[in-house]
Amino acid sequence: MSSPRSRVEVGPAVAQHYDFFMNVILLGYYPHLIRKVINKMDLQPELSILDFGSGTGRNDCLMARKIGPEGHIMGLDISKEMLNLSRKRCHAYPNIEFREQRIEMPLAYQEKFDRVFTSFVLHGFEDTQKIGIVNNAYNALKPGGVLCIFDYNEFDLERLWFPIRRAFIRGECQLASEFLKLDLKKMLSSQGFTTFKEELFLGKHLRLLKATK
């Protein structure tokens, strides 16, 4: 069940226009940003990737170019609209598949993937659910595999320029504000992840956190 404090589950109308919203919010910078993020994921041909909350499939098509036809991507999402959009968008890549699946519920995958990727999803879950998601990622990764979380970095909301702070509070859910204060590395360590690397974007407000199993 999704938390009433979350907005990470999107309705049909938002799903249809999700990519457009992201482009507008970041003043057209989003496509460039997500390419930069994916470039930092150390992807090579033949890797297998599990994407938690795969959305419109935009990120999966970009990752597919890096891993080539011998690689494999599995995107999990619970929105039927998002799943339709992503299947249409990625139809040219037979090595990408999408499944309807709640990512906070126990998953069947054991040591199957080289990467677990999740972008702008984790902040929208209660801490107990986050632990379930991180645990699912840990189990799904092969030894030495990497969990790549692209989301808000830890920062002080009070220090943001007032109009941006207001937009964040109005546009984002309560859980997102709390996520800014979460020691994510500590949570990941508690679930068995050992080594961490981070790449920061947009004035250090966004982070790609890479945690190795």
Q: Which of 21, 6, 12 is nearest to 133 (CA)?
A: 6
CB of 24 to ligand SAM, least distance (A): 14
Q: Figure out which of the listed residues 47, 53, 85, 152 binds ligand SAM, where binding follows CB under 6 A.
A: 53
Q: Tell me the residue nearest to ligand SAM as measured from the CB.
A: 55
**78 near ligand SAM (CB under 6 A):** yes
Stretch binding ligand SAM (CB under 6 A), from 72-80, 138-146, 183-191, 203-211:
72-80
Site string for ligand SAM, 174-203 (x = CB under 6 A): ------------------------------
Per rule CB under 6 A, count of chain residues that contact ligand SAM: 19
- Please tell me whether residue 82 binds ligand SAM under the rule CB under 6 A: yes
Query: What is the DSSP code (8-state) at residue 122?
Result: G
**Geometric angle at alpha carbon 105, from 170 and 22, rounded to 5°:** 30
Residues 171 and 153: their CA atoms lie apart, in Å, by: 17
Q: Does 148 participate in binding ligand SAM (rule CB under 6 A)?
A: no
Q: How far is the CB of 145 from ligand SAM (least distance, A)?
A: 19
Non-local (6+) Cβ contacts of 75 within 8 A are: 51, 54, 57, 60, 86, 96, 97, 98, 99
Give residues with Cβ within 8 angstroms of 28, minimum separation 6.
none
142 near ligand SAM (CB under 6 A):
no
Which pair of structure tokens corresponds to residue 135?
């645990």
Vertex 53 angle, CA 16 and 23, to 5°:
45
Q: Work out the number of other CB atoms within 10 angstroms of the CB of residue 108.
A: 9
In terms of Cα–Cα distance, which of 37, 53, 145 is closest to 98? 53
5-34 mask for ligand SAM (x: CB under 6 A)?
Answer: ---xxx------------------------
Please pick, from the candidates 47, 74, 103, 209, the single residue that binds ligand SAM as defined by CB under 6 A: 103
Angstrom distance (rounded) from CA 79 to CA 63 = 21
Is 79 near ligand SAM (CB under 6 A)? yes
Residue 120 contacts ligand SAM per CB under 6 A: yes
Q: Which amino acid is at 160?
A: L
Nearer CB in complex with ligand SAM: 50/67: 50
Q: Does 121 bind ligand SAM (CB under 6 A)?
A: yes
Contact set with ligand SAM (CB under 6 A): 8-10, 53-55, 58-59, 76-79, 82, 102-104, 119-121
